Amino acid sequence: MDKFRMIFQFFQSNQESFMNGICGIMALASTQMYSAFDFNCPCLPHYNLAYGLGILLVPPFILFLLGFVLNNNISMLAEEWRRPQGQRGKDPAVLRYMFCSMAQRAMIAPAVWVSVTLLDGKCITCAFCTSVPVDTLGNASHPRLSQGEIQRVLARIPCKEIYNGQQLIANEVAVRYLRCISQALGWCFVLLMTTLAFLVRSLRPCFSQAAFLKSRYWSHYIDIERKLFDETCAEHARSFAKVCIQQFFEGMSTDLVAARCYLPRKASADAGEAAEKLLGITDQGTMNMALKTWHRCKPPLHLHPPALPTGNGWAGEGQPPTHPSTPRRETAAYYSWV
């Protein structure tokens, strides 16, 4: 249990670790889904190709979209992309980094599905059973069979229980031939994905490490800023609701006094503490205006240091004087008593 607790805490440490954990769970789920899936080839010339390629390509597309849906950054990316310019510019490099990061994680589960499907070989056997070279592997001179009848016979290769073309080509030979091709494609796909991941991880810091660090930093900043804004809004809503409820009960004080029920003394103090957290926003219209202002013109990413007050004030637009300070000379005198 301690190991599982440590793994769970690691996944919750930051957004990237959490999404890596989600993608790992989706990859394991994709393999379990394929192992539990009951593959039934239709064994018809005009349907085998569509069924086989559909099982090979449609579930990875669904898993890819599901990876985007489960990623919390997709809404943040859409919000950052569609928001007005306002007082803060939008950096396309940060948007590209966020999209590429989500796409890389969302591709893990589809890549696992395609790899497992190709290594298993059922989809390729069903899809391309009518393309088996009968001239090489079977008896192409079989009499009394037209081209259409040959296609119907070959379409039944995945269905061993109804296959009746042993005189044309042995079922075991055709299945073994197609499965070998499928496994070769599967290992090539795994090697390609591994090579691409290695190149992305190893060569990216050699060319654009500074730009990558900048994009990653501001991507994390946008995520943290959004979380802090949500927490601040939730705290303001809690304080607003607390003050509203206490004012409602204070408005009912006449009836409570008539019923000989008195409000506790602490209520006023709690209301004062909650009112301080409202920061002057005490009505619905002002809060809506604050939310719209945050969306339309976010504050610029530049922190101004507080101005130091002086007796005569500063000349100019609130800027401190730029006169160099004169260094002070200190002297020490030593007295000796003789």
pLDDT at 330: 45
Token pair listed for 311: 């007796």
Token pair listed for 75: 């809404």
What is the arithmetic mean of pLDDT over 297-320?
61
Whole-angstrom distance, CA of residue 84 vs CA of residue 294: 10
> How many Cβ atoms sit within 10 Å of the Cβ of residue 53?
15
Residue 113: pLDDT band (50, 70, 90) is very high
Q: Select from 175, 136, 176 the least CA-distant residue to 154.
A: 175
Select, from the ranges 96-110, 203-217, 299-313, the one with the highest average predicted confidence (pLDDT). Answer: 96-110
Q: Is the pLDDT of residue 324 over 70?
A: no
pLDDT at 166: 83
Whole-angstrom distance, CA of residue 53 vs CA of residue 40: 13
Whole-angstrom distance, CA of residue 35 vs CA of residue 84: 48
* Pair 102, 60: CB distance under 8 Å: no
* Pair 239, 275: CB distance under 8 Å: yes
pLDDT at 201: 78
Whole-angstrom distance, CA of residue 23 vs CA of residue 271: 46
Whole-angstrom distance, CA of residue 249 vs CA of residue 274: 15
Secondary structure element (H or E) that encloses residue 167, with its range = none
pLDDT at 79: 85
Residue 92 or residue 257, greater confidence: 92
What is the arithmetic mean of pLDDT over 22-45?
83
Q: Select from 55, 47, 37 the least CA-distant residue to 159.
A: 47
Residue 59: pLDDT band (50, 70, 90) is very high
* Pair 46, 163: CB distance under 8 Å: no
Does the global pTM surpass 0.75? no
Whole-angstrom distance, CA of residue 215 vs CA of residue 217: 5
Token pair listed for 76: 């943040």
Q: Is the pLDDT of residue 208 over 70?
A: yes
